[in-house]
Amino acid sequence: MRWTGNARAGAAPVRERDSDRDPTANGTATATANGTANATAAGTGGVGGAPLPDAIAGLLGLDGVAGAVVGGLIGAFIIANLMLTMTAVAGPWAKRKITAAFTDRIAVNRIGPFGLLIIVADAVRLLSKELIVPEGVDRPAWDLAPIVLPFSALLGFAVIPLGSGIQLADPETGLAFAFAAASIASLGLVMAGYASNNKYSLLGGLRSIAQNIAYEIPLVVTAASVVIFTGTLQMSEIVAVQAEPLVTVAGVSIPQWFAFVNPFAFVLFLAANMAEIGRNPFDIPEAPTEIVAGYQTEYSSVYFVLFYLGEFIHIFLGGALVAVLFLGGPAGPILPGFVWMIIKMWAFFLFTQWCRSAVPRVRIDQLIEIGWKGMLVLSFANLVLTAIIVGVIA
């Protein structure tokens, strides 16, 4: 005799007898249930369907280890290039256009239609510059730091559900993996600051560690309140729970996105996320007016491009986490789930650029005080309140 249960919170275990387990019946029931679930998820823009590596392996007619390896590599190549393309548009072009719109100025508009060829011009300009290596740098760490930053962000996208079947992996600890991958960036910033043999760079690296420690704890604790609601760390399950209706008004169902269920946690996570990606008012590690770009002061040419790339990929990773945890992930009406996920990530990017133009930078002492005395206390208060509410309802 065994027990089977649902991963969601509050689901009662179902008792099943060994004598009732008919192989044919179970196979039919499982196939029917999976097909129904996948069809429902796909219809709501969810994350149903086979994972991307499995779909690719099936198209190529591969199975076993070879199919898993080839499918995984091709899938990772597709997701990475999608993120790199979005970053190439966001960094040189969209950032300038959005900032110009907020500050009533004219942005790039002469190089190509709408100034889009500035992307190519900037790439050629930066990559053709001489890579200057200062004297006294710790060369191995100095060389590795620009690679660690974009790599950590791309690694986090391995578990992000981008749409129906567009997900590299869906482990049961997917949310923990995403946070762990994103936190590797802190190591890259410290390596860059320490290895540069520059006091301004060292200060930037130390600031980044102080900031990440102060705000990463509230970020994870606030995300834990979502885990209490869903009862799982699996990304697809978190999205699936939010697809259920919260209320129905005049025949229109409002989904139970956690931004609606717990707006306080949503605001907390958004603020802590801004600190983690280092955008205003929390761009302390590179504060140009104080420490001359901080940890990246001594970097030029392709190394500077990698830092710039990593910064913007982390913005999109932060937007993806906000979307998955609080905005229903790829769920949305009419449009495919993949399109909705991209829209939500770009909406978060737009928000970061608004903050960059409208919100002044805080001092380092204010930043640490806000993190340890404000955000940390509020995040734990939110966690306890969520646990009480869920415990009473369940």
Average pLDDT for 65-69: 88
Tell me what the mean pLDDT of segment 292-316 comes to: 86
Q: Which residue has the higher pLDDT, 337 or 5?
A: 337
Identify the three-state secondary structure at position 255: strand
Provide the pLDDT for residue 47: 59
CA nearest to 382, candidates 257, 275, 211, 229: 229
Q: What are phi and psi of 249, to 5 degrees?
A: -120, 120
Judged by phi (left if over 0) then psi (alpha if -120 to 50, else beta), residue 163 lies in left
Q: How confident is residue 4, by pLDDT bands cut at 50, 70 and 90?
A: very low
Structure confidence at residue 294 (pLDDT)? 76
Beta bridge partners, 245, equal 255
Residue 19: both structure tokens together: 């004598």
Q: What is the pLDDT of residue 289?
A: 65
* Confidence (pLDDT) at 381: 95
The pLDDT-based confidence of 252 (bands split at 50, 70, 90) is confident
pLDDT for position 292: 74
Residue pair 350/193 in contact by the 8 Å Cβ criterion? no
CB 241 within 8 A of CB 44: no
Lowest-confidence pick of 237-251, 333-347, 378-392? 237-251
- pTM of the shown model: 0.83
Predicted local distance difference test score (pLDDT) of residue 275: 85
pLDDT score recorded for residue 48: 56
Measured CA to CA, the distance from residue 370 to residue 214 in angstroms comes to 9
* Mean pLDDT computed over 349-353: 92
pLDDT for residue 235: 93
> Highest mean pLDDT range out of 17-26, 137-146, 246-255?
137-146
CA 227 – CA 239 distance, rounded (Å): 11
Q: CA 149, CA 311: separation in Å to the nearest integer?
A: 7
Place of tokens 């002492």: 365
Cβ atoms of 277 and 268 closer than 8 Å: no
Question: 38, 49 in Cβ contact below 8 A?
Answer: yes
